[in-house]
Chains A and B, each alone.
Chain A
Amino acid sequence: GESVGLHLPTLSVQEGDNSIINCAYSNSASDYFIWYKQESGKGPQFIIDIRSNMDKRQGQRVTVLLNKTVKHLSLQIAATQPGDSAVYFCADNGAQYSGGGADGLTFGKGTHLIIQP
């Protein structure tokens, strides 16, 4: 089946630097994308989402960029803090277009963001 994947399993950044986490998706029918943050022992926590009619969306300290041409999205975190340490997942809604019915979100494997002091 089609899936969403992330380029790097682990990303290490210095505290205060900006972080960029990348994601490639394969289902060209996907029109909704979402980033989640998951801390150890907890469920995924919503960060930001974007629809395919947009290229960029900003939140508080976070920005999501979507490039539909190459089926790529990224999550940028400004001024990374120790509390940003977590696994970050991208997900898309493409399964509903290929499987028939709303199969929820399709998640990638995640990138573990490590903050160096």
Chain B
Amino acid sequence: DTGVSQDPRHKITKRGQNVTFRCDPISEHNRLYWYRQTLGQGPEFLTYFQNEAQLEKSRLLSDRFSAERPKGSFSTLEIQRTEQGDSAMYLCASSSTGGALEKLFFGSGTQLSVL
């Protein structure tokens, strides 16, 4: 257990529905990342926060995706009008600017299946 928690672990939804995932990072970590991983591939960067500020978004992040970290602690990732291509594992990770910034600690992920 890395200390990064994600909820839910699994989500099955119908195409067109909205879904929201939650991530609780390691408490003293000020950076929080979202990644997406499809079967047989490595994780792909989506976005990251430093405290409550969203500092970077990947071109992979379409306008149907939105992420927030309102108080600089937990974060949510919402996908609107889900499509079958959104089916993937959504991983959250955190790191600390006080340590090795790039050393990410990952949660167990939320597996999304869009039917």
Contact = CB atoms under 8 A, between A and B. Distances in A.
B48 A104 contact: yes
Interface stretch (A57-65, A76-84, A88-96): A88-96
B55 A104 contact: no
Q: Which of B40, B45, B102, B106 has the most CB of A within 10 A?
A: B102
Given A89-B42, A107-B44, A43 B106 contact: yes
Contacts of A45: 2, 106
27 contacts: A32-B100, A34-B103, A42-B108, A42-B109, A43-B4, A43-B91, A43-B106, A43-B107, A43-B108, A44-B106, A45-B106, A46-B2, A46-B103, A46-B105, A49-B100, A49-B103, A89-B43, A101-B56, A104-B33, A104-B35, A104-B56, A104-B102, A105-B45, A105-B102, A105-B104, A110-B41, A110-B42
How many A residues touch the partner, as a band? Answer: 20 to 34
A29 interface: no
Interface residues of B, number: 28
A109 B40 contact: yes
Interface string B75-103: 00000000000000001010000001111
B20 interface: no
A104 B42 contact: no
Given A43-B107, A43-B108, A45-B2, A109 B42 contact: yes
Interface in A84-117: 89, 91, 93, 95, 101-110
A106 B41 CA distance: 12
